[in-house]
Amino acid sequence: MRLGAHLSIKNGFDGALAKAVELGCDGFQMFAGNPRGWARKPLDESEYQKFMAKRAATDIWPVVVHLSYLPNPASEDDELYEKSVLTFVEDFRRANRLGADFFVFHPGKAKGASMEQAMERAAAAVNRVLEEVDGPTVLLFENQAGAGTEIAATLESLADLIGRIKHPERIGICWDTCHAYAAGYDMATEEGCATVFEGFRKYIGLEYLKLFHLNDCLGKLGSGLDRHQHIGAGEIGLAGFAWILNHAMLGRVPGILETPQENEGDDLRNLATLRSLIRKG
């Protein structure tokens, strides 16, 4: 499995790329702008060209861009929904101009609307984004932890969302291990993982699985608690990660860490833990 981490863009897109190389990542993930703000500073074409030129001199793959925190593409509030879609469009456009391989987003929360209405609005947002932005980047739904009114916490709901998209060839799934465990999917044992991905094959199709977010989980199984933990230090432990990493097919899907940044070297330690689980030969 090609492994990487989510990295800061405080030194620009090419700064994140340089950090990925420094850490020995195979690939990496970043935001396309301020993850906690709506405003986007205009970017000069030279910034995209510089990033792509520097990436071409490496063997980094994949490059993943993640939608920022504020958008809720399932919102029933028309003003928030429109802001969410506009930011979604802008960040997805940036990802394509960077030549990113994948763009990951959280499908959102229903809040005051029904789950069906929220699913409909999230799918409509994706269809609009795909209509407005062309390019090579594959758009990935990320499974959610199922807290409160979050949608897309189950395999069935993800399959439902995919079925509403007009261009299914341009989309896929990012499977977050922490979110899955919090939503009630047993990622901690070999037997549990085998059951989960048999369900994935049945309801969605493994061809839609494009990326893993590899995170241990602070909360109990089915708790709905979206709190990431260092690999092996949470409720999932190591057995489930080892099963995924060494699976004949799943091991070819790239994995990105989103584990806590508490001390210098945390990413290196988590990458080393994952790599130690890969059987040689």
CATH code, domain carrying 218:
3.20.20.150
Within a domain: residue 197? yes
Rounded to whole angstroms, how far apart are CA atoms 98 and 16?
13
Residue 99 has a pLDDT of 97
pLDDT tens-digit series, residues 109-123? 999 899 999 999 999
**Domain, as residue range, for 175:** 3-276
Rounded to whole angstroms, how far apart are CA atoms 130 and 195?
32
Within a domain: residue 281? no
- pLDDT, averaged across the chain: 97
pLDDT tens-digit series, residues 5-18? 999 999 999 999 99
Within a domain: residue 75? yes
**Position 260 pLDDT exceeds 90:** yes
**Residue 64 CB partners (closer than 8 Å, separation 6+):** 4, 27, 28, 29, 30, 100, 101, 102, 103, 104, 211, 256
Residue 281 has a pLDDT of 63
Within a domain: residue 127? yes
**Would you please indicate which residues are annotated as catalytic (active-site) residues?**
36, 66, 69, 106, 142, 176, 179, 213, 226, 228, 258
Residue 280 has a pLDDT of 81
**Position 253 pLDDT exceeds 80:** yes
Mean pLDDT along residues 188-212: 98
Predicted TM-score (pTM) of this structure: 0.97
Mean pLDDT along residues 243-271: 96
Provide the number of structural domains found in the chain: 1
Mean pLDDT along residues 36-45: 90
pLDDT tens-digit series, residues 111-166? 989 999 999 999 999 999 999 999 999 999 999 999 999 999 999 999 999 999 99
**Position 97 pLDDT exceeds 70:** yes
Within a domain: residue 186? yes
Within a domain: residue 17? yes
